Amino acid sequence: MPISLRTRLQQRAELTQRVRSFFHARGVLEIDTPVLQGGANLDYGVVPFRLCDGKTVRFLPTSPEHALKRLIAAGIGDCWTLAPAFRSGENGQRHAPEFRMLEWYRLGWDDHALADEVIALFAVITGRPPTAERLTWRNAFRLHAHLDPVTASIEDLHRQLGTDAGVVGHDRAAALDLILTRDIEPHLGRGVWTIMTDYPASACAQARIRSDADGMPVAARFEIYGDGIELANGYHELTNAAELKQRHQQELATRSNGEQLDESFHHAMQRGLPDCAGVAVGFDRLVMIALGLQQIADTQAIPWNDA
């Protein structure tokens, strides 16, 4: 039987309360971040909304990452926020162009320690046990798609995609993304949470790069899955301001919708980001899982398609 809107909102409010208690007990400071920012988040495959009132251009955050990192560089220490985030064009059963991002940072921690804390929080929110499997990105392809994503040729990827091969052509990154969403993700987070680790260096986003057990450069990045759904994305943060700015400039060069660098963010990074790990959780998706809802719109007070 469908749950009434009021009941769903009550349950969601209860989950928010648990998040607040969790971080309060651990001494992590709650922050209200601004909704309009001076420059764009520049992550591969993520498109921001651009706003203009006739004089000033501002961008809606695709995550509150820039604001929180600026505050950490200013010395506020461990912090968290549950903030509105916006991603243009992402609309579907598990996506909404406007949603809430639960994001937090831990000073002096690495990605492994932070992934454990995410699992602890997920257990508190969903009532499920805090048991997780760790799977490297490379092994996830080996296990569920029976190919090695590092050594596979484009023909190998096409063979795996079958009739979908034509959709991606010779774009290797797109082929791997389609195999990931189509053949791998549905198997992740079944029975236990899945922590996917050691992303390829080419998909480092704002994570630092290190060597894996085989001496391959990998991103210190993880994602966490539950019930086949991607819930969290975390990094041992890159603190090298010059490299970070270069990554953003490279991404900016591929854009054509008037995106601008977030200069205030990069100035703060130049002053120095302390060693830290950070993670972003799609809070609406976590609510979906906790309440057993089938679509993200059912977790929201007023869904995008009704706005």
Tell me the three state secondary structure of residue 219.
strand
Q: Which of residues 47-66 bind another protein (CB under 8 A)?
A: none
Q: Using CB under 8 A, count the residues that bind another protein.
A: 28
Query: Smallest Cα–Cα separation from 291: which of 300, 303, 304?
Result: 300
> Applying CB under 8 A, does 205 fall inside the site for another protein?
yes
Task: With beta carbons less than 8 A apart as the criterion, state whether 252 and 261 touch.
Answer: yes
Q: Which of residues 11-50 bind another protein (CB under 8 A)?
A: 43-46
Query: Which CB atom, from 29 or from 154, has the smaller least distance to another protein?
Result: 154
Q: Which of residues 86-125 bind another protein (CB under 8 A)?
A: 89-95
Residue in 33, 136, 160, 233 binding another protein, rule: CB under 8 A: 233
Query: Which CB atom, from 147 or from 168, has the smaller least distance to another protein?
Result: 168
Residue in 30, 164, 263, 275 binding another protein, rule: CB under 8 A: 164
Query: Which CB atom, from 203 or from 209, has the smaller least distance to another protein?
Result: 203
Q: How far is the CB of 167 from another protein (least distance, A)?
A: 5
* 253 residue type, one letter: A
Q: Which residue has the tokens 């969403």?
A: 181
Query: Which CB atom, from 9 or from 209, has the smaller least distance to another protein?
Result: 209
Stretch that binds another protein, among 70-78, 142-150, 171-179, 271-279 (CB under 8 A): 171-179
Rounded Cα distance between 260 and 174, Å, is: 25
Stretch that binds another protein, among 1-9, 23-31, 109-117, 164-172 (CB under 8 A): 164-172
Q: How far is the CB of 172 from another protein (least distance, A)?
A: 11
Residue in 157, 168, 279, 287 binding another protein, rule: CB under 8 A: 168
> Applying CB under 8 A, does 182 fall inside the site for another protein?
yes
> Applying CB under 8 A, does 173 fall inside the site for another protein?
yes
Residue in 21, 131, 181, 240 binding another protein, rule: CB under 8 A: 181
Query: Which CB atom, from 58 or from 95, has the smaller least distance to another protein?
Result: 95
Burial of 243 per CB tally in 10 Å (0-12, 13-18, 19+): middle
State phi, psi for 259 to the nearest 5 degrees: -65, 145
Torsion sign (Cα): 8, 23, 198, 254: positive
55-61: long-range contacts (C-beta < 8 A, 24 or more apart)?
A: 57/258, 57/260, 59/259, 59/260, 59/262, 60/35, 60/36, 60/84, 60/85, 60/86, 61/33, 61/35, 61/37, 61/85, 61/86
> Applying CB under 8 A, does 178 fall inside the site for another protein?
yes
Q: How far is the CB of 173 from another protein (least distance, A)?
A: 7
Q: How far is the CB of 203 from another protein (least distance, A)?
A: 7
Token pair listed for 216: 């391959």
> Applying CB under 8 A, does 174 fall inside the site for another protein?
yes
Torsion sign (Cα): 245, 214, 45, 59: negative
Question: Residue 263's CB: how many other CB atoms inside 10 A?
Answer: 11
Q: Which residue has the tokens 């995106």?
A: 259
Q: How far is the CB of 29 from another protein (least distance, A)?
A: 25
